[in-house]
Structure 1
Amino acid sequence: MGDERCELLCIDFDHAEALRAALPGPEVIARDAERLRALGDPTRLRVARALLAGDELCVCDLAWIVGSSQGLVSHHLRQLRSAGLVDSRRDGKLVMYRLSAHGRTALNVLVGEADPV
């Protein structure tokens, strides 16, 4: 038998059931998984880390910082925004991007600098 499995069935039912009941529902788990998937791409993670360091940046600045084209950065920003990790606002002819509260928290935890928003 592998090291990952118990050799006998020994459920602490009360404890296990309390933990099972406390888990978020499937829709919350699916949303969280989508957010984590969004950060799973190296370019998106680089963009997100640039936003973590720079607070609010336009696509032009982000493209220069991460060393990718504006089109590619825009594509990744759309994915980060649809995952709820990035917010945007129009400032004249510029569109400014920043991490959402969820994005900032996720990134802080991911890079080991947990700082509640």
Structure 2
Amino acid sequence: MHLLDPDNARAVQDGERVCAAIAHLPDGEALHDWATRFALLADQTRLALLLCIHHAGEICVSDLAVATGVKDSTVSQSLRLLRAHGVVTTRRDGRTIHYQLTDRSLRGLLDQLPTPTVPASHH
């Protein structure tokens, strides 16, 4: 299948490679969705929260604040953004709200990050 636009063909050095590249580009909406996921991961606090939720499972704001060393208010603000983007979901238990990761794509990405070795005294 030839995917190359004839108007751009004059600048191409290897048409087969260009066609292979074009064939693997997602549509604009999917590309935007992935760019949004990567933008969410680009913030150190949000990435730390996502890693904690991913590895600890369902966890509340105060526990996330302790785990990350970030203020409760900052954790809550970051979690609101992650929830608005459908990355995490909540479960209420009385006055406590627990967060869990819902985005399977992000789970796969987070699995790729190396887990640091934690000294036994920190358990």
**TM-score category (smaller protein):** 0.7 to 0.9
- Deviation of 1:16 (Å): 2.9
Q: Relative contact order (alpha carbons < 8 A, sep ≥ 6): 1 or 2 greater?
A: 1
Question: For 1:63, which of 56, 62, 65 is the aligned residue?
Answer: 65
Letter paired with 1:102: S
- What is the SS of the residue equivalent to 1:45? helix
Give 2:14's aligned residue: 11
Q: In structure 2, list runs of 5 or more residues that go unmatched.
A: 1-10, 116-123
Give 1:50's aligned residue: 52
CA RMSD of the aligned region, Å?
2.1
Q: In structure 1, list runs of 5 or more residues that go unmatched.
A: 1-7
- What is the SS of the residue equivalent to 1:84? coil
Could you list the structure 1 runs, at least 4 aligned residues long, displaced by more than 4 angstroms after superposition: none
- Deviation of 1:106 (Å): 2.4
- What is the SS of the residue equivalent to 2:90? strand
Give me the whole-angstrom Cα distance separating, in 2, the residues matched to 1:29 and 1:97. Answer: 27
**Within the alignment, does 1:25 sit opposite 2:35 as a pair?**
no
Give 1:41's aligned residue: 43
Give 1:99's aligned residue: 101
Moved more, 53-62 or 16-25: 16-25
| Percentage of matched positions with identical amino acids | 34
Mark the structure with the bigger radius of gyration.
2
Letter paired with 2:76: S
Letter paired with 2:48: R
- Deviation of 1:56 (Å): 0.9
Question: For 2:84, which of 82, 85, 93 is the aligned residue?
Answer: 82
- Deviation of 1:96 (Å): 0.8
Give me the whole-angstrom Cα distance separating, in 1, the residues matched to 2:106 and 2:61. Answer: 17
- Deviation of 1:9 (Å): 4.5
- Deviation of 1:112 (Å): 5.0
Q: TM-score normalised to the size of structure 1?
A: 0.76
Moved more, 57-66 or 17-26: 17-26
